Structure 1
Amino acid sequence: MPAITNKSVSSKKRKSTKAGGVPSSKRRAVAENESAESMVRIQQLEEQIAESRKHYNNIATLISMLGEDGQGINPNLPVAVSLCRVFSRLIAGGNLAEPDRAAENEKIVVAWLKERCREYQRILVSIMRQSDASSQITALTLAMRLLNERATHIPGDDTQAWTSGLFRSIFEAVVEARDGQTLRSEFLEKFVKPHEDVTYYTFMQLAEYAATARSTEILETLVTLLSACDSVPSADHEFESFYSKASKQNKKLLSVNSHKKRAQDAWLAVLRNNLAQPLRKTLLRIMVHHIEPWFARPEFLMDFLTDSYNVGGATSLLALSGLFYLIQEKNLDYPQFYTKLYSLLDADLLHSKHRSRFLRLLNTFLASTHLPATLVASFIKRLSRLALNAPPTAIVAIVPFMYNLFKSHPTCTYMLHRVVPDKKQKELEAEGMDDPFDPNEPNPDRTGAIESSLWEIDTLQSHYHPNVASIARIISEQFTKMSYNVEDFLDYTYQGMLQAELGLEEKPLKKIPVVEYQIPKRIFTDRLLEEDGGVDTAPGSLVRALWDFS
């Protein structure tokens, strides 16, 4: 006979137990109690330190509680905040400054406090290097607050703390931090950009740090930090936003030239480092707008730009902007500039993503009417030869560009309508002629392009794309237009061409295109039907005969 069960007991849920049979709710309560007790203990230790010097040993106790692992990976952040308050009060009260006529025991106490402060700073730096993002940001805020107190209240430490003391360690930790993207962003947005003294000393530390060979990853981080500081002070700028009050007494921090000098040294240190090719291209892209404005003497960029210009390929194209700035503004003498420019016109140019940028600069370089006709003719001929294998989006930009060159240099129009003597006319029609242009000659003054003709443009007038064929015909027509705005053609893309074709439905067709001349009755079979009279009359029977479907 089954036993009677107690429903009131059996219906209750059993509490989940883990870790030694202790319910999870009890474990949470125990953890909360331990946390509350820990906070009370921290507060008691801090208050005792503030009450009397005899409790200074509590500082060592708090430091031991802060970084128990010794590496800053799992820090006790409440302890870090408490220690920051403790040392801030001590520094503000002058307890870390040694009096002139202090007793020996007083010197020992000050030395002990300084050592504990340095130990606390090292732990904060370790947290910034090794811990999670939230702990890194907290450690950065505490370290910068401690730096401000040291620079404000300790005599003689107002500059040393920034140049060779705590700020150097903070900067290196920010740069080298593990997974430190969030930390670097906080450093830039909260300290560097809003405060001009922090910006100044960041430039100083970066210049010293980059003077040593660094890895590509570190250099990319340095470039990111420098690029973010893009607000160049004007000549009449007044410096007022300082993180430390003591910075207002530093005359160098109130000088525009001094700020530019520090930024210039920082950029030069990066540019002289061992740069990988992708990073070099990044620097060349931002050269004109982010780097050159900081330079009081832009000629210091000459070596970097000329070396980049001599690399070739896309790197040379990107170096053109900065190099042209030096030539135009600083009278840089670059030997054989047009010879090197001519060498950049290779088969990859018109397929490059930097094509539009290069053509804009080339339009500026060849704008002068004082250039020799032989030089301009070589560029025209080289571009027309490259256009034979260029994409349609590049051809529609090259032809108006050449049109403008012909208008600026009328002597080159002999390439379009050269008169042939009657004696040679029949010989040319029968045997043709060799193109006098030498595509392998590196010197544009010796290519013989002025003796040639633009048969390539005549070929492009039969291009498969109707837009290309139409625009190529402007070279064969009368030059009644003064010039074309090249900017209207530089950003022509495949997407734009496709949209133009798809937009035909908005413009009704004048004539419906013929799809088939004769509709066949059979496509892939040679079987003759009775209604065809036994004769294969469908077009394409020869093509079907060449196929074997067995």
Structure 2
Amino acid sequence: MASVDPPRKKKKGRYGVAELKTLGNQLLSSASHINNLPLLLTFLSPSSPPHHVLESLLSLHSFFLPLLPKLPSSSAVAASAAAPSAADQSEFIYLTWLRSKFDEFLKSLLDILASPQSDETLKELVLDTLMEFVKVANGGAFHSALYHKLLLSIVRSTSPATFCVDLLESKYFKYIDVRYFTFISLKKLATTLEGKDDSDDKIASADGNNESQLSSNTECFIRNMYYTISHVPPLQGSDDTSDLEMWSSSESDQKQHSGDVSVDDKLLKSKKPNKNVLSAAKIAKKMKLKFTKAWIAYLRLPLPLDVYKEVLVNLHQAVIPHLSNPIILCDFLTRSYDVGGVVSVMALSSLFVLMTQYGLEYPNFYEKLYALLVPSTFMAKHRARFFQLLDSCLKSPLLPAYLAASFAKKLSRLLLSVPPSGALVITALIHNILRRHPSVNCLVHREDGVDEGKSDHRTDEGTAVNSESVKTSAVPCQKPGIDHFNSTEIDPKKSAAMRSSLWEIDTILHHYCPPVSRFSLSLGNDLTVRAKTSEVNVGDFSAGSYATILGAEMTRRVKQVPLAFYKAIPSSLFSETDFAGWTFKSEETPEMINENNERSTKDLS
């Protein structure tokens, strides 16, 4: 008799796939084999063999799925202090026990999903199982609590959440209710993480000084959360909600998931919130608000520097158009713009969108923009977008003359230190400034100090800030060659650009790079005659590099090619008269070789 032990008394390692399949079939066929349920649960762990996990998962999924509408919720079980009647006591105890086993089942599935050692195919099956439970476990309504646990396990995983989020994006983010509850859950997760953070400076890691203080778990949490929130497609602005798909049941389909009405009548009455199932139209109205709250909560977190830069790059296209009130981002963007360096360049796009499309007022905008004109900007990764925005910011005809002159002079000074690709885009920017603002064309050519004094009388209040410059403006400059422009001044009002000239343009007329010298000739034209000139598209030069310049030169058709003419074919590179005592022979005779060998032998001896 000892050799015929029941299956439940075997050791875990002795079960094979066939025996697990038998246990599952017994569990599904009769309630008398309910003790197989705890045994199958023991095989659901990241350390178990994948084929054992798969067989147990299929059996338990088929067992729990039809029972989910009947199971009491975990909160209802914990809150039920009063004992049920004697008739329902056994059933209540049985359902409560099943609920506890279902919670264990969910915990095991979440552990497998978050484990880095789990197989990807198994993860996909686990995710599909959990999403099916989300669909039917709440009587037909979307089970937001279960879905929140699912997202929490994905985001809190110590490994990148790329695979799981890509699965959600390809299979489930097309459903509007899944996106809706994703934003709600991400907002809760971000708020919880923000509460645990002791630092008051939420963007302290932007300059890289405090980035090392972030723990590895928190940093991984923030990266996974960004990957998730950036892959949830926002709701496009459309009034037609008929094409929107729902993952959970609608109001009309809710009764089909309740099973037998006579049996589950009490359960349906006890679950009154399920009657208010959100429809696609209701979700569409609230989607923009949930999207906004999720992103604002996330932007309050201490973002790592690389994530911080990526957020700034994509904010103006992927986030701002879908916010309920984009002006709410003004504090985040102005703080980012004040950081300086590459971070300010990246924040400029979103800040420019808020100023031009949503009426944001930022008094120190041009002062901060002026401070970004440094040589390192011309080698930044996102310089193309920056130059296009810079050209757009200087397009307004209401721009004061001193401000236009300061930008033109600062750009021309950078001509002396930037690579050829930067010189091309600077030339295009100066060309457009001189054409749009005729009052600063006096900077192109100034013959003597008298002309300089007259030009200072035409300046606005920007040059009147410095009282010394006002006194000396009427006096001709007696020292030619002195540039009054202060390149280290961060305030364009005090830079004295109107007292200077664009003498740097003459230097690039002799630039070693032919495209730069050719293009600079356009600045010699009279740009005040707008009918005969046109603006230059800065976008054609903003993404230039050495490779693009070389490629353009190689494909350029040259009309005249310099040729070398010789009366006689040269036999050597240099003539003997150039280097006295040296001879340049094309070939060595055997006598010369022997003579050289003898000399080397004597030297060694």
- How would you bin the TM-score normalised by the shorter chain? 0.7 to 0.9
* Match of residue 514 from structure 2: 466
| 3-state DSSP of counterpart to 2:348 | helix
Displacement after TM superposition at 1:152 (Å): 2.8
Displacement after TM superposition at 1:362 (Å): 1.1
Select the residue among 226, 230, 235 that pairs with 1:227.
230
**8 A contact 2:315–2:350 mirrored in 1:** yes
Select the residue among 193, 199, 214 that pairs with 2:179.
199
**8 A contact 1:285–1:318 mirrored in 2:** yes
* Match of residue 374 from structure 1: 402
How far apart are the structure 2 equivalents of 1:482 and 1:423? 28
* Match of residue 128 from structure 1: 113
* Match of residue 46 from structure 1: 28
Select the residue among 152, 155, 163 that pairs with 1:182.
163
Cα distance change, pair 523–194 in 1 and its aligned pair in 2 (3 A): farther
Q: Which amino acid aligns with 2:162?
A: Q
**8 A contact 2:72–2:99 mirrored in 1:** yes
Question: What is the Cα-based RMSD across aligned positions, in Å?
Answer: 3.4
Q: Which amino acid aligns with 2:411?
A: L
* TM-score scaled by length of structure 1: 0.80
**8 A contact 2:413–2:504 mirrored in 1:** yes
1:269-327: CA deviations, max 9, x gaps?
11100012221110011111111122111111111101110010111011111111111
* TM-score scaled by length of structure 2: 0.73
* Match of residue 116 from structure 1: 101
* 1:499 aligned onto 2:551: yes
| 3-state DSSP of counterpart to 2:290 | helix
Q: Which amino acid aligns with 1:438?
A: N
How far apart are the structure 1 equivalents of 2:449 and 2:128? 86
* Match of residue 455 from structure 2: none
* Match of residue 436 from structure 2: 408
Q: Which amino acid aligns with 2:249?
A: K
* 1:63 aligned onto 2:45: no
Cα distance change, pair 491–76 in 1 and its aligned pair in 2 (3 A): closer
- Aligned length in residues: 485
**8 A contact 2:156–2:220 mirrored in 1:** no
Displacement after TM superposition at 1:331 (Å): 1.7
Structure 1 stretch displaced more, 167-176 or 282-291: 167-176
Select the residue among 483, 489, 496 that pairs with 1:441.
489
* 1:417 aligned onto 2:442: no
* 1:89 aligned onto 2:66: yes
* 1:254 aligned onto 2:278: no
5 Å matches for 1:126-525? 126-130=111-115, 131-152=118-139, 158=141, 161-162=143-144, 165-177=145-157, 178=159, 180-191=161-172, 193-211=173-191, 212-213=193-194, 215-238=218-241, 240-246=244-250, 250-251=277-278, 254-255=281-282, 256-420=284-448, 432-479=480-527, 480-503=532-555, 507=558, 509-513=560-564, 519-521=573-575
Identity %: 27
How far apart are the structure 1 equivalents of 2:445 and 2:161? 66
How far apart are the structure 2 equivalents of 1:342 and 1:417? 24
How far apart are the structure 2 equivalents of 1:252 and 1:437? 65
**8 A contact 1:96–1:113 mirrored in 2:** no
1:103-124: CA deviations, max 9, x gaps?
2222212211111111111111
Displacement after TM superposition at 1:513 (Å): 4.9
Cα distance change, pair 421–244 in 1 and its aligned pair in 2 (3 A): closer
How far apart are the structure 2 equivalents of 1:527 and 1:378? 60
Q: Which structure is higher in RCO with an 8 Å CA cutoff and minimum separation 6?
A: 2
How far apart are the structure 2 equivalents of 1:306 and 1:446? 24
How far apart are the structure 2 equivalents of 1:89 and 1:42? 15
| 3-state DSSP of counterpart to 1:40 | helix
Q: Which amino acid aligns with 2:41?
A: I
Cα distance change, pair 142–429 in 1 and its aligned pair in 2 (3 A): closer
Cα distance change, pair 72–265 in 1 and its aligned pair in 2 (3 A): farther
**8 A contact 1:72–1:124 mirrored in 2:** no
Cα distance change, pair 219–341 in 1 and its aligned pair in 2 (3 A): same
Displacement after TM superposition at 1:422 (Å): 8.2
Displacement after TM superposition at 1:421 (Å): 6.0
| 3-state DSSP of counterpart to 2:562 | coil
How far apart are the structure 2 equivalents of 1:176 and 1:467? 54
Cα distance change, pair 216–95 in 1 and its aligned pair in 2 (3 A): closer
Is there any run of 5+ residues in structure 1 with no aligned partner, and where?
A: 1-30, 532-549
**8 A contact 1:81–1:142 mirrored in 2:** no
Structure 1 stretch displaced more, 139-148 or 449-458: 139-148
Displacement after TM superposition at 1:147 (Å): 2.2
1:485-533: CA deviations, max 9, x gaps?
22333233322221233336x64644315799994145998545699xx
Q: Which amino acid aligns with 1:58?
A: N
Q: Which amino acid aligns with 1:203?
A: F
Structure 1 stretch displaced more, 221-230 or 174-183: 174-183
**8 A contact 2:21–2:59 mirrored in 1:** no
Cα distance change, pair 487–64 in 1 and its aligned pair in 2 (3 A): closer
